A and B are shown apart, each in its own frame.
Chain A
Amino acid sequence: MRPLARRRPARRLFNRGAGLPISELEGLVRIMDENRLTEVTVDDGCRRLALKRDAGPREPDSRDGGRPDGRLAGEGDVEGDPVSTGLVTVQAPGVGIFFRSPSPGMTPFVEVGQVIEPGQVVGLLETLKVISEVISDVRGIVIGIEAEDGGMVEFGQTLLVCEETDPV
C-alpha cells in the first residue's frame, strides 16, 4: 500500500516555502528569458522548484508547449484567449471526505467547463462528522476535477484544476 495521492500540483511547489538563494532564482529566470520558456522545473532529487511565467498579453507565445503540462493541456484549452493567464488549482483545506454535491443525487457544485469565482462553494469536506464548505480562492474555468466524489482527500490535495482568468 502506498500513500494516497501523490500528485504534485504545480501550485503546491510554489507554496512550499522552499528557500533558494536569490542568485539561483535569478539564474533560473535568466534561463527562462533566454530560451523563452514559460515554465522551468528543477528537481535535484530532494527539492523541486517549478517556476512558471504568466503567458500574459505582453509577450504572446505563439509556440505550442505554452502549456507544458500535457496532462492538462487538452480539454478546455483556451490558449490564445487573452484573459487566460495559467493553471491554478483548488486544494483540500483539510483531511476528510470530499463531496461534489450538497447531498447524494443532487447537482454537483461545479462541473468541467464552468467558471468559478473566489469565494464560491465548490464542494464539501467532512472531517470527523463536521461538514465544511470548500471555497474557491481562484477565478477560472474548471478544466479538471481531480478528487473522487465521496473519496478521502488529504490536506493540500488538488480538487479542481482551472484555467485562471483575469477579473473582468
Chain B
Amino acid sequence: MSPFGTMLVANRGEIALRVMRTCQEKGIGTVAVYSRADEGSLHVQQADRACCVGEAGARDSYMNVANIVCAALELGADAVHPGYGFLAEDARFAEICSAHGLSFIGPSADALLLAGDKCRMRKVAVGCGVPVLPAASGPLSRPEALRKARDVGYPLVLKPRCGGGGRGIRLAADEDGLRGLLEEREVRASLESGRSFLEHCLERPRHIEVQVLADREGDTRAIGLRDCSVQRRRQKMIEEAPPPRLDRAMEGRLVDDAVCLSRASGFSTAGTVEFLVKGDDYFFIELNPRIQVEHTVTEVLTGLDLVWEQIRLASGSALERPGRRGATGAATGSRERDCGHAIQARISAEHPGLSICNSQHPSPPPLPPAGGKVGMGGVLRGRTEVGELRLPGGPGVRVDTHLRQGCPVPHFYDPLLAKVIVWAPNRAEALIRLRRALGETHIGGVETNLPMLEALLGSAAFEEGCYHTGLLEELEEGGCPGEKAHSPAAMDLPGAHAAIECRVLEKGKAQWA
C-alpha cells in the first residue's frame, strides 16, 4: 500500500526521473516542477502533472521554496521528494513542507541542520568514538590560525563549516600556503567568524562510504559500502561496490561506526556516512542525509529500491526485521560481497570554462527578466543540444539519464548527463562490461568526459583496484608505471586537467588513440 497519494519531485534531470519511476511502480501520482530552461524535459513529460516554477537559474526555480510548495499544495501532492542538490539538505525547506502538511522525503529539519554542520558532526563523531582528522575550528584570528595549523599538521584544507560536495575547499600545502590564503580578506573573514575551519588533509586517501537506512524507532542498518575514490576536483566520477581490496576488519569498523553515527545524529531516512581511508586508518568526514548520485551502485548489488526505502521510512514505516528481506523491505545488512560487483561511471558535459558549474551554487549568466525586452544577447547565448544519442544496453547494464536526442543541455545546472551502472559476478568482469558499455555510448553534440572515463578505466591502477583520490592526477602526470600499455594517450598529457580538457574540447571527435 502506498503511503502517499501524490509526490511532488523538487528536482530535474535523471534523479527526478528516478524518483518518479519508483512512484509510478508504487501507485503514487507524480508532479514535476521545472524551470524555463527545462520546458519539454523528460522529467516534465514523465510526470502526471507539471508546473513551471521559475526562470532558468536554480535559485529562481528549483530552489524557489514558495513556488514549489505552492505547486505541491495546489496540485494535490502530499509529499515532496527533493532528490539531491538544490533543496535536498535545506532544513528550512523541510520545515516549510511540514508546516504545510507535506511529508518531506528525508530526515527531520533538526537532523538536516546537524548533518549540514561539519563542526557539530565532528563532535558527534568524537562522542561516538569515531576517528576524525585533526582540525581547528571556532573563530580563529590570523595568528591563531597559523599557530593551530601547526597542531593540525600540513598539508591542510580550509573547509566551509556548512555546505557539501567538496565546494569551497582550499588547500594549504605548508605554512607559506596558509599565509597566502590568509592574505585573502574572505578567507580571514570566514575563519574569524567560524564559518570555515582548518582540517588536516590526508594525502591520496580512499573515499569509502557506507549506505545506511534508519527508521524512526532508531533501528539503523548499513546495507553496503561504496568506493568513490575516483574524483576530479573533488567531484566523484566513478563509484564501485564493494570497495576493492578492503579488508574485512576495516569494512566491519566502517559499518559499525556508520551505524553508530547515524543513530547518534538521530536521522531516520536513507543516508550515507563518508570516510577517508588510508592504510589501517580511517576518518569520518560527513554524513549525507539524502539519496546520493551513486545510490544506484548499491541498488544493483542488493536488488533494493533505495528511493522506495526512503519513501517508506519518511512515512514512518519500520525497517524490515533481519532475515525477512522481502521485495518491499530493506536488506538485512548481509554482506554484499557475495552478490557480485557493481561499478558506475558518471558521464558529464564538459562546459568550456564552466566545468565546476553545479546545482547548489549556480552562477549562470542572467536571463532577460520575464516580460522584459529581449536583446540579441538573449537569443544568441550559446546552447548545447544533444545530437545523435546511443545509450548502452545488454546484460548487467543500467543507464539512468534524462537525455534524449535533440534535447537541450542547459548550462545552468549540474553537468551530469547520464550514469552508466554495470553489474557482473566479479570485479574483473564488471570492469570489462563497463568498458564495453561506455564504448557503446555516444552523446552527439555535447563534449563529454567519456574519453577521460575510458582512460581511467583503462589504467593499471584502476584495474588492480589499488587507487585513491589522486588517481586522475597521477594519470595526467603520466606518473603511473605500466600506464602506457593501457592508455597510451595518458602519456601525452603532462600537467594539469587543462590538457585533457583541451583534447576533449577539440573540434570533431576527440579520440585517445
Chain A partners chain B: yes
Q: Roughly how many angstroms separate A22 CA and B50 CA in the complex, as a whole number? A: 33
Chain B residues, CB < 8 A from A94: 54, 64, 66-67, 70
| B37 interface residue per 8 A CB criterion | yes
Chain A residues, CB < 8 A from B407: 46
CB–CB B408/A25 < 8 A: no
| Shortest CB distance A167–B (Å) | 13
Q: Roughly how many angstroms separate A138 CA and B406 CA in the complex, as a whole number? A: 34
CB–CB B408/A47 < 8 A: yes
Q: Roughly how many angstroms separate A130 CA and B70 CA in the complex, as a whole number? A: 11
**Known contacts A22-B380, A94-B66, A95-B74; A46 and B51 CB within 8 A of each other:** no
Q: Roughly how many angstroms separate A44 CA and B385 CA in the complex, as a whole number? A: 12
| A109 interface residue per 8 A CB criterion | no
Q: Roughly how many angstroms separate A19 CA and B377 CA in the complex, as a whole number? A: 9
Residues 77-96 of chain A: 1 if any B CB is under 8 Å from the residue's CB, otherwise 0? 00000000000011101111
Query: Chain A: which residue is nearest B368 at the CB level?
Result: A15
CB–CB B378/A45 < 8 A: no
Q: Roughly how many angstroms separate A97 CA and B73 CA in the complex, as a whole number? A: 11
Chain B residues, CB < 8 A from A165: none
| B367 interface residue per 8 A CB criterion | yes
Q: Which of B40, B61, B70, B367 contacts A17 (CB 8 A)?
A: B367
Query: Chain A: which residue is nearest B364 at the CB level?
Result: A17
**Known contacts A15-B368, A90-B371; A46 and B40 CB within 8 A of each other:** yes
**Known contacts A94-B67, A96-B70; A155 and B374 CB within 8 A of each other:** no
Residues 45-70 of chain B: 1 if any A CB is under 8 Å from the residue's CB, otherwise 0? 00111111111100001001011111
| Shortest CB distance A16–B (Å) | 6
Query: Chain B: which residue is nearest A11 at the CB level?
Result: B371
Chain A residues, CB < 8 A from B70: 94-96, 127-128
CB–CB A4/B370 < 8 A: no
Of A19, A22, A152, chain B has the most CB atoms within 10 Å of the CB of: A19
CB–CB B66/A3 < 8 A: no
| B352 interface residue per 8 A CB criterion | no
Chain A residues, CB < 8 A from B66: 94-95, 127-128, 130
Residues 400-442 of chain B: 1 if any A CB is under 8 Å from the residue's CB, otherwise 0? 0000001110000000000000000000000000000000000
Residues 312-341 of chain B: 1 if any A CB is under 8 Å from the residue's CB, otherwise 0? 000000000000000000000000000000
| A137 interface residue per 8 A CB criterion | yes
Chain B residues, CB < 8 A from A157: 52
CB–CB B67/A127 < 8 A: yes
Q: Roughly how many angstroms separate A19 CA and B367 CA in the complex, as a whole number? A: 12
CB–CB B371/A45 < 8 A: no
Q: Which residues from 361 to 379 on chain B have a C-beta closer than 8 Å to any C-beta of chain A?
A: 367-368, 370-372, 374, 378-379
Q: Which 3 A-B pairs have the closest CB atoms?
A: A19-B383, A46-B406, A3-B50
In the assembled complex, 14 residue pairs joining A and B whose CB atoms fall closer than 8 Å, in A order, are A2-B49, A3-B51, A15-B368, A16-B36, A18-B379, A19-B381, A25-B379, A25-B380, A94-B70, A96-B74, A152-B74, A154-B71, A155-B52, A156-B52
Q: Which residues of B contact A (CB under 8 A)?
A: 29, 36-37, 39-40, 44, 47-56, 61, 64, 66-71, 73-75, 100, 367-368, 370-372, 374, 378-383, 385, 406-408
